[in-house]
Structures are given as C-alpha cells and as structure tokens.
Amino acid sequence: MEDLGAAVRRLANLLNLSTPAGLVLARAGRARISPGQRGLWYAESYELPFPVAGAFTVGNVIVTPGTIAGLGARALAHEERHTWQYMACGTFFMPLYLLAMAWSWLRTGDRAARNVFERAAGLADGGYDDVPVRSLRRLLERGVRP
C-alpha cells in the first residue's frame, strides 16, 4: 500500500506533467516500463545516448540503461529523492537543475559536486565524489577551463 507522502508526490508529479514527460521520454528511449514501489515507475533498458548516466529521474520515472536491480538500493534511493525535488520545483526542475549543474562545473570542474540537487539527493548514494571548490578569482584571472 502506498503511503500518504508517496501518494501526494505521485499526484503532484502527474499534475505538474513531469511524470508524463518521463514516461514519454522512457518510451522514446525504448525502455521497458513497469510500476515500481511507492508510486514510482521503473524504465529499464533505456537506449538513447543522452543523458550519460547510470540512471536519471523525470517526475516519478526512474530511467536506467540497465536494470533497477542493478542500480542497487543506495542509487535507487538517490533517484527517488529526485522525485521529491520534481514535486517541489514542478516544471522549473530541469532548468534549475541545469543551472545547478553549470554552477557545480564552474566551482569544481565536476557537474555534480556542488549541484544543490545532487547534494540534497546524496552525492555518495548517486555515485558522485565530493570535489573541493576552486577559487573563482583564480578562474576569472586565467579564464574558465575544465
């Protein structure tokens, strides 16, 4: 039985259209879609080359080029935390995520280390390293490079 929080998240991500978008994307990537736990959808064997990730989430849809079982419990929990972020941000999640990714890259040279969404979902659980920040002053003096 689905708990109240998961039911609210499921409804919110349905109404903000992020879950329908995730299902369309999964279908476009020829993934096998099945209902998961706590109102989630699992999309396995995703075939599109983008994004480059072991898994990613759109609404309540967790998408992986592999299998959900192959992700492991920590990575699955990490991806489920992103579903709550979609609930909180609605249609603004993806542009906000891209800005957070750009900020992280600018500060660390890594797309996740200082991405507020990845940090809130648990860097280590998502398989990311916590990379130290670089000096913005030094970056501006010599020009931004990876």
The pLDDT confidence band at residue 65, using thresholds 50, 70 and 90, is very high
pLDDT of residue 52: 87
pLDDT of residue 140: 73
Average pLDDT of the chain, as a whole number: 94
Report the distance separating Cα 37 and Cα 6, nearest Å.
9
pLDDT of residue 67: 97
What size, in residues, is the chain?
A: 146
Beta bridge partners of 57: 62
Report the distance separating Cα 79 and Cα 81, nearest Å.
5
Judge whether 31 and 55 are in contact, CB under 8 Å: no
Q: Is the pLDDT of residue 107 over 80?
A: yes
* Over residues 27-47, mean pLDDT: 97
pLDDT of residue 142: 74
Integer angstrom CA distances of residue 79 from 75, 100, 118, 139 = 6, 17, 9, 32
> What's this model's pTM, rounded to 2 decimal places?
0.90
Name the more confident of 146 and 7: 7
Report the distance separating Cα 13 and Cα 52, nearest Å.
23
Element (H, E) at 51: none
The pLDDT confidence band at residue 91, using thresholds 50, 70 and 90, is confident
* Over residues 95-108, mean pLDDT: 96
Could you tell me the sign of the dihedral formed by the alpha carbons of 76, 79, 85, 87, in that order?
negative
pLDDT of residue 135: 82
